[in-house]
Amino acid sequence: MRAQRHAYPTLAAHGHPSANDWDDAFHRGLGYLIDGIRANTVRAA
């Protein structure tokens, strides 16, 4: 994933979501979602 950092910047920054803890997975997923929205908002502006 790090080799394709330009294509997946949010995943490269946070690492692969491989935790078995549901709360942790939820918070990581929410972080990915917010980062993606923020990236698209900045790009569109």
In this prediction, residue 37 carries a pLDDT of 92
**Is the Cβ–Cβ distance between 35 and 5 less than 8 Å?**
no
pLDDT at 31: 93
* Residue 4 in tokens: 């394709």
The pLDDT assigned to 17 comes to 61
Whether 33 and 44 have beta carbons less than 8 Å apart is answered as no
| 3-state DSSP of 1-45 | CHHHCCCCHHHHHHCCCCCCCHHHHHHHHHHHHHHHHHHHHHHHC
* pTM of the predicted model as reported, rounded to 2 decimal places: 0.48
1-45 pLDDT, tens per residue?
567 778 888 777 776 666 567 788 888 899 999 999 998 887 766
